[in-house]
Structure 1
Amino acid sequence: MGGTQRKLTTIFCADVQDYTRLMGVDEEGTLAMLKHYRDAMSRLIAAHGGRVINTWGDGVIAEFPSVVECVRAAMDVQNELAGQNAARPVDGRMLFRIGINLGDVIVDGDDIYGDGVNIAARLQASATGGGIVISNTVYDQVRNKVAVSFDFLGPLAIKNIADAVPSYAVRIGEPLPPADATPGMRAKPGVDAGSHRQVNSAAPLHKLWALIAPMFWLAALAAAVLVAINILSWQGVFWSAWPVLGVAVLSAVAWVAMQTRYDRLLAGLGVISLAIAGINVLTWHGIFWSVWPLLGIGIVAALYKIIPR
């Protein structure tokens, strides 16, 4: 085997967005800021059980035995550096891009090599300044263990790797205005201009809601009219409860499809449970038959949370 071996580890890659521009404006100040920020990053990496493997130019490579702690460390890094950047002018901020991958690597002394590292580096290059992008292998491990939301970015092509890697952006709050938003700033050579866009899934969701909201308002108005007709022509039967229930269920389904704060599957199971309970109430004959499907849904939800994926 020589001096090499293989292992599965979590790779953390970071570099500075627009480092060349910052150096061109103020070499000594940029180097001092880089050292200060990198010291803070190293401290947080160590606090989460990771180790810095290499620092070259403006970059940092680290590895973690825990995927969860790696993501938490990246979030802490971006939050701390965002606080320090807040006191600086927009064009003087140093924004790090972070990529995280869980993969098999070759270990040679204190260094690691292989596709696992290359994927982390490509994820980092696709991140926005102040942002974090993770691979699907990382997402599968942390999605129910870290109190944060994720935006799916789609498959990411990696040089010399046959299959594209599905990637996700970690939502760590509202980002600082990117430095490349000011005139005259350029992305690093070899990085697509689109890779610096801030991922914001809320915008398309709001657009979708703007399209379908009128239909729900119309359905709600129709349901209200039917309730009024039902009351004014009352014959002892509250038949208008059915269209009201239908509008409520459709609205809840739309909410589940568009929200990102909660797990969509669990939220969907909750909507189904409420719909079944509503049907039971509206067809009440003294039997609470919906307890059985509700029990089944509860078991499915519990297994979904317990069984690792």
Structure 2
Amino acid sequence: MNIDALLGLLAIGAFCLWATLLLFTLIDHFVYRGTYGHFLSGLQSLRRRHGAGHDGHVALRAYMQAAKTRYLAAYLARADSDPVPARLAADAYIEREGVEQVLMQAATGRRRPRVVALYALTRVMHRDVLPLLETALAERHPVLAYAALDMLGLCDSIEAAEALLRALDAGVLPASRISAQLERFRTDLGALLISRLRGGPGRNRYWDAYLLGKGRYGTEADAVLTGLLSDPDAAVRKTALASLAEIGAPDVQRQATGLLSDPVFYVRTQAIRILSGFRNADAVHALAGALADGHDAVRLAAQKALVSIEDAAPRVPAGDGVPHV
């Protein structure tokens, strides 16, 4: 066989491979995806028709039980799925596959089946799902790790928060992404965060102080955050002051005034932001003093704060007993 014939055969083989891949892509696009789209439109139509009452719940359950497994899997693999249909889809998926099989997939399956299995177990809040999610959170593959992060955010429990905080300490994912999930929790995490902050100078004091400001006011939270105003890390001092303001600490104006003498300019700028929310003579006096600060950013912030206070002051209309000069 000469070289021209060999090259011709290789070209024909490459064309056949390309044509096969194109065929499968078209089948996937027009058959599978189109049918899944029909599944989603049917789901939306059913919810509009039956509403959210008992009849709607029964109709949704029947719809999920009749759906193909691959549609259930595709629906479960979406973090933004509505909670009620997702729970029913998870029930149908687990019932069809079997609990043991789903648990095995969640522990050792390939990436996509593993994500689907983890979502199914999370939606039904299976008792074994938290350790499986914590293991997946530490995986090297970002798709699996970030899916586990989203699922832990759905769990909304103290145990899930502890798992996320352990991941925060380990640095397995960006701290801002982990914090964003913890902010979604309706469960009060105040006691957990206070315990961490009282346990010593942890490396994530900044994030603990930030998250503590997203909760409710309490004397313990106030005391812990007040202690952080003298932390050696300037970012922690800044965040502690912001959190004190967010929870409505009663002494925050005095604390912000005290931090106008902080050695780091962005802490002083944060103090000015807090003081700009107070419309009283003490706040104005403190802000006026900040106009002589040695840093441009601090002076500009103080100037803007004073202007905002002046603009918000009530105007006395002419002719109401105010003398005109």
For CA contacts below 8 A with separation 6 or more, give which structure has more relative contact order.
1
Which has the larger Rg? 2
TM-score normalized with structure 1 length: 0.29
Higher strand share: 1
